[in-house]
Homo-oligomer: A and B are copies of this chain.
Amino acid sequence: MSLSPLLQELISALRTLPGVGPKSAQRMALHLLERDRTGAQTLAEALVQAVEHIGECQVCRNLSERERCGICEDGTRDRGVVCVLESPVDLMAVEQTGGFNGVYFVLKGHLSPIDGIGPDELGLEQLFTRVDGGEVSELILATNPTVEGEATAHYIAEQLQQTHVNITRIAHGVPVGGELEFVDGGTLAHAFAGRRSLKRSADD
């Protein structure tokens, strides 16, 4: 096909975006060129700015353009509760619930010896130093409920056995709004093992 070479370059550049196939890329390119050239310029500028300036927060390893991210600098957040996550996208998911007022530590991955990812790559030394600092009272391990995520959580918990910090793992069970019928066996087993009493205790 004798397409304009610049248009072809734009289409293949758009295909690097996750979830964008050849048809979507084509539609995006034509949309930008035919109807939203200002939007295209804004996007180009936003990409350049983000790539140039966004690094990681020195405290929690979250994406940030400053030395400390907005959450770590926020005086209203409880610095005693640290939530450990695998990636910034998990952090955004937790933030969007609006129900967590502590701070974070982003591992940027999980332990995976085969890929050469050990404690150093996950910045665990930095996390342990932070725990030793004494400000942290609870460490919530919110790595993914996958084999690697569980192994990472287990490893962190093991390393901190001797400290006085409370170490917790987020609950795994049946998703809210889900139906038992469609939940896999592993999740159901977790849901049963983690069952809670609904009976009021005597001192309520």
Contacts and interface: CB of A to CB of B under 8 A. Distances in A.
B16 A24 contact: no
A158 B184 CA distance: 65
Contacts of A46: 6, 9-10, 13-14
Nearest to A24: B19
A18 B27 contact: yes
Interface stretch (A34-42, A129-137, A149-157, A186-194): A34-42
A2 B60 CA distance: 14
Contact of A92 (B26, B48, B70): B26
A54 to B, nearest CB: 6
Nearest to A31: B18
The contact size tier of chain A is 35 or more
A157 to B, nearest CB: 26
A65 B10 CA distance: 13
A30 to B, nearest CB: 5
A29 B88 CA distance: 11
Contacts of A50: 6-7, 9-10, 29, 32-33, 40
A4 interface: yes
A175 B59 CA distance: 59
A95 interface: yes
5 contacts: A4-B64, A4-B69, A5-B65, A41-B47, A44-B44
